[in-house]
Amino acid sequence: MKTLGVIGGLGPMATARLLTRIIEMTDASCDQEHLDVIVFDRPQVPDRTAYLLDPEHSASPLPSMQNTARTLETLGAGVLCAPCVTAHCYFAELSGCVAVPFLNMVEETAAEILRFGKKKVGVLATSGTIHTRLFQQEFSRQGLSWAVPSQQGQATVMEVIYDEIKRGLTPDARKVSALCQEMAAQGCDCVVLGCTELSLIPKEMLPENGSVDAMDVLAKRCVTACGGRLRAEFDRLL
């Protein structure tokens, strides 16, 4: 199996969540059947959303992320990933600075949604991700319709991410429900948790069979791309 390299710390809890999901999704009967993983946890990387929204007054996260990617490759990683959706705004620069495959969680998430027949996706993500149209462009490219929250809805998304999850608090169920209802009102038959912090929303707060977690999609692809065996129950994430 190939060794997985993880650009971690973006944020720290999301990185821990990815590792947990990889272990849970791997069909292993002993320690030796799990993936070898190298994690470079770098929470001091400048905030991705802050730079995208105000590059004149914020530091670029790209140099440190590229340094991390190269370090992981040097240490022997055969597949790389970054459990941060907003970081994928720099995917071309990140994947281009190494010679090993770099998993694209935005592209993989769109393919997973399309695979199970969903037609229109509500995008719940950081303002930086929404601003750069990462998901919107990829969904359109793969033939999916999409919708994004209203201005107030997007403010609520950012509150859930920055004022609750990143502070170690449980997300407000009423806010999550209101966001899902807003997406349904726009005709969405699916919502994507398009920020790895949103992966920490308890599943009972989300519509059954109507949401997909980009983090889960990434974890699934990490297992298969590195040559691990995927547990059968995780073949379908929707």
Residue from 180, 195, 222, 226 carrying the catalytic annotation: 195
Sheet holding 79-81, edge to edge: 37-41, 4-8, 79-81
User: What is the DSSP track for 223-236?
Assistant: HHHTTPPBPGGGS-
Residue 94, phi then psi, degrees to nearest 5: -75, -50
Whole-model pTM above 0.75? yes
Of residues 140, 119, 122, the one with CA closest to residue 198: 122
Q: Are residues 30 and 96 in the same domain?
A: yes
Cα 109 to Cα 122, 213, 235: the distances in Å are 13, 8, 13
**Which domain covers residue 130, as residue numbers?**
106-214
Determine whether 84 is an active site residue.
Answer: yes
Residue from 81, 84, 89, 188 carrying the catalytic annotation: 84
Q: What is the pLDDT of residues 88-120, one digit of tens each?
A: 999 999 999 999 999 999 999 999 999 989 999
CA 146 from chain centre, in angstroms, equals 17
d(CA 38, CA 36): 7
Q: Are residues 114 and 71 in the same domain?
A: no
d(CA 112, CA 193): 13
**Number of domains within the chain:** 2
CA 123 from chain centre, in angstroms, equals 12
d(CA 47, CA 52): 9
pLDDT at 208: 82
pLDDT at 209: 81
Q: Are residues 33 and 67 in the same domain?
A: yes
Q: Are residues 90 and 133 in the same domain?
A: no
Q: Are residues 128 and 210 in the same domain?
A: yes
Q: Are residues 40 and 111 in the same domain?
A: no
Determine whether 195 is an active site residue.
Answer: yes
Q: Are residues 180 and 142 in the same domain?
A: yes
d(CA 76, CA 72): 7
Residues of the chain with pLDDT under 70: none
Q: Are residues 93 and 110 in the same domain?
A: no
